[in-house]
Amino acid sequence: MRAVKIEGGAAIAAVNDFVVKFANVNGSGSASANALFAKSIIRMGVPVAARNIFPSNIQGLPTWYEVRVSEEGWLGRRGGVDLMVAMNPQTWTQDVASIEPGGYLFYDCTKPLPPSAFRDDIQVVGMPLTEICNAAYTDPRQRQLFKNIVYVGALAELLGIDIAVLETLLAEQFKAKEKLIPPNIEALHMGRDYARDNLMPLGLRVEQADAVGDRIFIEGNAAAGLGAVFGGATVCAWYPITPSTSLAEAFAKYCAKFRGEPETGKARYAIVQAEDEIASIGMVIGAGWNGARAFTCTSGPGISLMTEFIGLSYFAEVPAVIFDVQRGGPSTGMPTRTQQADILCAAYASHGDTKHPLLFPEDPRECFEMGATAFDLADRLQTTIFVMLDLDIGMNDWLCQPLTWDDSRRIDRGKVMDAEALESGREFGRYLDVDGDGLTWRTYPGTHPTKGGYFTRGTSRDRYARYSEDGAVYVDNMQRLQRKWETARTLVPQPIRRDAARPTKAGVIYFGSTAPAMREALDALEREGVHLDALRLRAFPFADSVFDFIAEHDQVFVVEQNRDAQLRSLIVNEGGVDPAKLVPVLHYEGAPITARFIRGQIAALVLAQDVAPLREVAR
């Protein structure tokens, strides 16, 4: 069978600036082949942003892998598809519908489809992939796995990707199983040769560039796990939950490399897979009380289970770090979709008056940096610190600046009183604020045989850790905790401001994984004459500059990936801001937010002068 090519309307022509989307079936082995495709473009010096959108079952449901090719360096999702690689009959209709007019559809044409299955405004390129693989292989599993490599070879020819780059990547991928290298390269060539002999190149082209530089391609969970190692963590207690599991696995891998005793090889760390999330946070708090730097990693359902222990950490003032890799909720929700929907439950976790610092990394580099910083903050503030990733950052490979570390940096343990200070007669009260910053001195167990001891409790106590139900004593302690919160405001990472090219009374606030799409949207809006000052929040409690920014503007859009405008609510609650000034722009369908969505929503509001809340159910 020869290739089918149906000519549509005017075809899109672009060099190093387009979106390819693969539609596959989960469990078909397509993920590694699709990642190979993305990495080959990076090796050609062209930045890409890759997003894996997958189901929560093991096998059989639809999965998509989207590759944004952008020599300009835009790393968020753009929106729309220029080339759809349609390998899943289940999703054919929606996949075809998502292609831009003039775009391309690449599909397996072994079984003919009626003309009604296509659109007349796209270019349709068929290749008999199943027929080719059935002729070349007898084993059903080989036919499926090599089919993925065959279509990568064909795409390389159609798009102009250097086949030698793909060969090198395959050799690297299978270096531990060298016997797999030749058959994979053979399948790659099979696809390349068929496309060369039977198909015409597409209007989309990849050309060698030098726009990647020294950037690396890494997932946020791996970067955060490495950050925990550099931050001095020696204890991880966790319970598996998507999408945080790979963070604990990365920590274990890096500990094995960096945390072994040089002479004996003995592990200088403890990693415990607990029986549930409640046990894991209990172990973390116990380790933190004993002086270890400890963390757990989880997602929204885990936070719900951990809240009572989190309250103990807050009130007894025991350091802990929680990496919350957010996913779609509530309840089980959408376990393999991304959201920023744990903001309020993390900020105020537990009953009573509690507040917890949150860190908002925008990419894997900041996952690494904040992953390390969180442990210094936990020790200095003697409380739980949340590092708020999400599935988009955590489980996808992102192109980012190299992870760097200052070797002169030293661990900051905060106010810890040693035996010498105790022996000198210095007054010790576990909850005694001697400096007026709300931060009290603590001791590690066993610091001194007779001094510096105290009883750690979750009940009310006085400045010397003595049990008390006296109202004035309780109020005194709660007011001190509030002073500590004000100190935390000065210690957490500060927001980053970007002013528009011209003066404006409109602004936008955003955070976390929204950042790359937001930057592209701001650029597009500016070209359309819509000028916005922008503020990227990096932590809670909010710095005074956040409220100054809001005060300077008549209207501030708050862009976030949840239904209930949780960040906006937090700003209003903490700063007494007039809610009418803060206009929600909300995206929560589960796929990462796109630049087109942000631009479209803000442009429509600005042009219409409509300040009603926006809620996007699907885009």
Q: Which pLDDT does position 606 carry in this prediction?
A: 87
- Rounded CA separation 549/535 (Å): 8
Q: Which pLDDT does position 56 carry in this prediction?
A: 84
pLDDT at 375 over 50: yes
Q: Residue written as tokens 């699907």?
A: 618
Q: Which pLDDT does position 482 carry in this prediction?
A: 98
pLDDT at 4 over 50: no
Residue 172 carries which side chain, given as an amino acid letter? E
Q: Which pLDDT does position 609 carry in this prediction?
A: 65
Total Cβ atoms within 10 A of residue 220:
36
Taking residues 297-311, report their average pLDDT. 98
**Strands 582-586 and 539-540, sheet pairing:** unpaired
Total Cβ atoms within 10 A of residue 164:
10
Q: pLDDT category, 616, cuts 50, 70, 90? A: very low
- Rounded CA separation 580/560 (Å): 17
Q: Is residue 462 part of a domain?
A: yes
Total Cβ atoms within 10 A of residue 479:
12
pLDDT at 493 over 80: yes
Taking residues 201-223, report their average pLDDT. 98
Q: Which domain holds residue 507?
A: 496-608
Q: pLDDT category, 610, cuts 50, 70, 90? A: very low
Which of 56-65, 66-75, 396-405, 545-554 shows the lowest mean pLDDT across its residues?
56-65
Pairwise pLDDT comparison (510 vs 144), residue with the higher score = 510
- Rounded CA separation 60/66 (Å): 19
Taking residues 27-55, report their average pLDDT. 95
Supply the pTM of this predicted model. 0.95
Q: Which pLDDT does position 3 carry in this prediction?
A: 41
Q: Is residue 408 part of a domain?
A: no
Q: What is the pLDDT of residues 552-575, one digit of tens each?
A: 999 999 999 999 999 999 999 999
Q: Is residue 618 part of a domain?
A: no
- 182 lies in the same domain as 235: no
Q: What is the pLDDT of residues 376-424, one digit of tens each?
A: 999 999 999 999 999 999 999 999 999 999 999 999 999 999 999 999 9
Boundary of a domain, candidates 350, 368, 400: 400
Per-position DSSP letters for 422-481, written without gaps between them: HHTT----TT--SSSSS---B--TTS-SSSS-----SS-B-TTS-B---HHHHHHHHHHH
Provide the CATH number for the domain around residue 318. Answer: 3.40.50.970
Q: What order do you get walking across the sheet with 294-298 strand by strand?
A: 270-273, 235-238, 294-298, 320-326, 384-390, 358-359, 539-540
SS3 156: helix
- 187 lies in the same domain as 322: no
- 379 lies in the same domain as 239: yes
SS3 389: strand
Q: Which pLDDT does position 619 carry in this prediction?
A: 43
Q: Which pLDDT does position 613 carry in this prediction?
A: 41
Q: Is residue 411 part of a domain?
A: no
pLDDT at 579 over 90: yes
Of the candidates 22, 32, 47, 19, the residue with the CA atom closest to the CA atom of residue 398: 47
Q: Which pLDDT does position 2 carry in this prediction?
A: 37
Q: Which helix (H) or strand (E) holds 5?
A: strand 4-6
Which of 32-41, 135-144, 477-486 shows the lowest mean pLDDT across its residues?
135-144
- 35 lies in the same domain as 161: yes
pLDDT, mean over the chain? 95
Per-position DSSP letters for 315-372, written without gaps between them: HHT--EEEEEEE-B-STT-BTTS-----HHHHHT-SSSS----EE--SSHHHHHHHHH
Provide the CATH number for the domain around residue 604. Answer: 3.40.50.920
Q: What is the pLDDT of residues 149-165, one digit of tens each?
A: 999 999 999 999 999 99
- Rounded CA separation 550/252 (Å): 43
Q: What is the pLDDT of residues 510-524, one digit of tens each?
A: 999 999 999 999 999
How big is the chain by its Cα radius of gyration, in Å? 27
Q: Is residue 414 part of a domain?
A: no
- 531 lies in the same domain as 438: no
- 157 lies in the same domain as 12: yes
Q: Is residue 407 part of a domain?
A: no
| pLDDT-above-70 percentage for the chain | 96
Q: Is residue 614 part of a domain?
A: no
Boundary of a domain, candidates 491, 525, 542: 491
Residue 237 carries which side chain, given as an amino acid letter? A
Which of 4-18, 82-96, 225-239 shows the lowest mean pLDDT across its residues?
4-18
- 395 lies in the same domain as 316: yes
Distance of CA 352 to the CA centre of its chain: 30
| pLDDT-above-90 percentage for the chain | 93
Q: Which pLDDT does position 317 carry in this prediction?
A: 98
- 241 lies in the same domain as 368: yes
- 240 lies in the same domain as 116: no
Residues with Cβ within 8 Å of residue 294, at least 6 apart in sequence: 233, 234, 235, 236, 237, 283, 284, 285, 287, 288, 319, 320, 321
Q: Which pLDDT does position 1 carry in this prediction?
A: 31
Of the candidates 234, 382, 236, 231, the residue with the CA atom closest to the CA atom of residue 313: 382
Peptide linkage before 301 cis (omega within 30 of 0): no
Q: What order do you get walking across the sheet with 81-86 strand by strand?
A: 4-6, 123-127, 99-108, 81-86, 17-25, 62-70, 48-53
**Strands 235-238 and 216-219, sheet pairing:** unpaired
Q: Which pLDDT does position 55 carry in this prediction?
A: 86
Provide the CATH number for the domain around residue 78. Answer: 3.40.920.10
Q: Which pLDDT does position 9 carry in this prediction?
A: 60
Burial class (CB in 10 A: 0-12, 13-18, 19+), 94: exposed
Q: pLDDT category, 5, cuts 50, 70, 90? A: very low
Q: Which pLDDT does position 8 carry in this prediction?
A: 52
Boundary of a domain, candidates 465, 491, 517: 491
Distance of CA 259 to the CA centre of its chain: 26
Question: What sign does the dihedral 474-475-476-478 (CA atoms) show?
Answer: positive
Q: Is residue 182 part of a domain?
A: yes
Per-position DSSP letters for 82-108, written without gaps between them: EEEEE--GGGHHHHHHTEEEEEEEEEE
- 456 lies in the same domain as 345: no
pLDDT at 527 over 70: yes
Total domain count, the chain: 4
**Strands 384-390 and 496-498, sheet pairing:** unpaired
- Rounded CA separation 54/391 (Å): 11
- 190 lies in the same domain as 223: no
Report which DSSP code applies to 267: B
Note whether 244 and 277 are within 8 A (CB): no
- 363 lies in the same domain as 483: no
Q: What is the pLDDT of residues 341-370, one digit of tens each?
A: 999 999 999 999 999 999 999 999 999 999
Taking residues 28-46, report their average pLDDT. 96
pLDDT at 230 over 60: yes
